[in-house]
Structure 1
């Protein structure tokens, strides 16, 4: 083939799954998606319906649930359609849109986890200042600012993608559209810009989060009450579980190609699936089981519904 530039109007997702693993993969992805939808919608509903949960930390958790819903919804249905229906052709605009949304929700989650770490840092290290510094207004302002910053930081990548010249092929070797796969097809050397962006919105927030929790741990050790120490460390463990599930696989999946490390299709897909698909399913479980307020409100919600159904059935029988 000659080294000529072609006008790309669509991409082909080359989602390679072994035939003997295809059915299992589809079933697992469908189950993960259903659990993600149910769990995150339940967390959002509980927070919205209970006024006592209209506090900064729960607003952060509710926002995280919204981000997780968007993340799983933009990835899993398309992956299922590619695997189940062989719907592998994606128009150029739709592919860029998916790339934008995935990039945006990843940045939002990264920065939101940083804000949550800062929230806990102020609550533990400066408890007397916490009520005046961290308010509901502060949280909503932070969420809006994160969205604006995320959109502005992503726009150069969108414009840059539109200007890429695709030679020889429009086949993307993974199950979804993202910046790394497009640039790898067009001009792999430009992946260095992806690494720079990941350092700014991925590595740097992760480092700041770890520093915050180290400072929180040191402050917790000075608490004389054993119960107080347990509460602080329990909260830190909850957040660190969420942080680890999100940052570790995604950071590796973006940084390694950005610095020129070639990943196999299986390795890359595994990293992105773990980083993008598992956290939306696990986060509601983590917060439901480790947060007493959310757990008790969920129990009351289902207990109330069960009591209402029992009462209605009794009325019908009588």
Structure 2
């Protein structure tokens, strides 16, 4: 660091994972296993959807995009965490830290929007099946993903602007295994509300609002499927499984952003756990929940590994 009057010009940050030494081995093994499962599962989903033209439908476009986002999310976070845990402390250049913060926030936001799109897709398919082919098309799905990506970049651009204005007068040590925007604001000597309140507003727009859409969609689906005697229980069970994954993603991350933005200071352990659970577990579970339980994708995976041709038609709904 370079000194400039009462403030410090930060050229790098030091990551110090707030994990007990006797727990590091377990954490390293767990993260390595989760990363392997995440990479294998999501790459397999992308490969299967790419190689099978019969899966070129809106829902599979969403599933493939979710797999790409999950790969990015895990790769942005887990390798750096493993490096920090193995080395004990890790020096990160200022620019690299800023990039990790921005990319983490962006992929979280993209996944939030995408889960809302997928819930709405199921809502239309189940509640208004006759309108589904015209309302949910590949073109509409692609436009939705593209527009949400653009809005995600706009909503999270405040991170790069705010960080460039921060000054530091105490420390450049981040007590986590990753670079994190609220923590960087807290260790700075800048006026915190000015930089944390926009974060809360952005989280409401890109996190709370999509979550409300997801809950409304699945609530309406639940009401509809309860009227169906033959397949209602199966669809309802699937919806509950999806809601479990949604909860694992949304709840920890929303709390980790909204509480600091509201001035509530979380313990290092609690904050660390929230960010890790919200960013690490869903990318591992999503291929299982959204893909491997899907009949059409399972048929294509079986065909990929066995080389057998299956002449059964694929139902895109």
Residue aligning to 2:97: 95
Question: Which deviations, in whole Å up to 9, do the C-alpha atoms of 1:248-304 show, x marking residues without a partner?
Answer: 111111112111222111111111111001111111122344212112222222222
1:273 corresponds to which residue?
Answer: 276
Cα distance in 2 between the residues matched to 1:204 and 1:194:
14
User: Would you say 1:193 and 2:198 are equivalent positions?
Assistant: yes
1:211 to 213, 216, 236: 216
- Which has the higher mean CA deviation after the structures are superposed, 211-220 or 33-42? 211-220
TM-score of the two chains, using structure 2 as the length reference? 0.90
- The offset of 1:164, in angstroms, is 0.9
Secondary structure (helix, strand or coil) at the match of 1:233 reads: helix
Q: Among residues 169, 180, 185, which one is paired with 2:182 in the alignment?
A: 180
- 1:138-158 Cα offsets, whole Å, 9 max, x none, are 111111111111111111221
How far the C-alpha of 1:74 sits from its partner, in A, is 0.5
Alpha-carbon distance, 1:3 to partner: 8.8
Secondary structure of the 2:307 match is: helix
Q: Which runs of 4+ in 1 moved over 6 A?
A: none
- Say yes or no: does 1:147 pair with 2:142: no
CA contact (8 A) 1:203 1:251 kept: yes
Paired residue secondary structure (2:269): helix
Match of 2:315 in 1: none
Equivalent position SS for 2:103 = helix
Q: Could you tell me which of 11, 21, 24 is aligned with 2:23?
A: 21
Structure 2 counterpart of 1:68: 70
Give the whole-Å Cα distance in 2 for the aligned partners of 1:289 and 1:94: 35
Q: 5 Å matches for 1:228-267?
A: 229-267=232-270
* Residue of structure 1 equivalent to 2:230: 226
Q: Is the 8 A contact 1:14 1:173 kept in 2?
A: yes
Unaligned runs of 5+ in 2: 309-317
What TM-score results when the alignment is normalised by the length of structure 1? Answer: 0.90
The residue number in structure 1 matching 2:139 is 137
Distance 1:146 1:191 in 2: 23
Distance 1:248 1:295 in 2: 30
Whether the aligned pair in 2 keeps the contact of 1:47 and 1:54 (CA below 8 Å) is yes
Asked if residue 283 in structure 1 is aligned to residue 286 in structure 2, the reply is yes
Instruction: Determine which structure has the larger helix proportion and give its number.
Output: 1
**Bigger CA drift: 92-101 or 160-169?**
160-169
**Aligned match of 1:12:** 14
How many residue pairs match? The answer is 303
- What is the DSSP-based 3-state SS (H/G/I as helix, E as strand, rest coil) of the residue aligned with 2:92? strand
* C-alpha contact 2:245 2:286 (8 A) present in aligned 1: yes
| Separation of aligned partners in 2, 1:182 and 1:218 | 45
Separation of aligned partners in 2, 1:231 and 1:171 = 50
SS of residue matched to 2:182: helix
> What is the SS of the residue equivalent to 2:14?
strand
| Offset from partner CA, 1:115-135 (integer Å, 9 cap, x none) | 111111111222111101111
The alignment yields a C-alpha RMSD, in angstroms, of 1.9
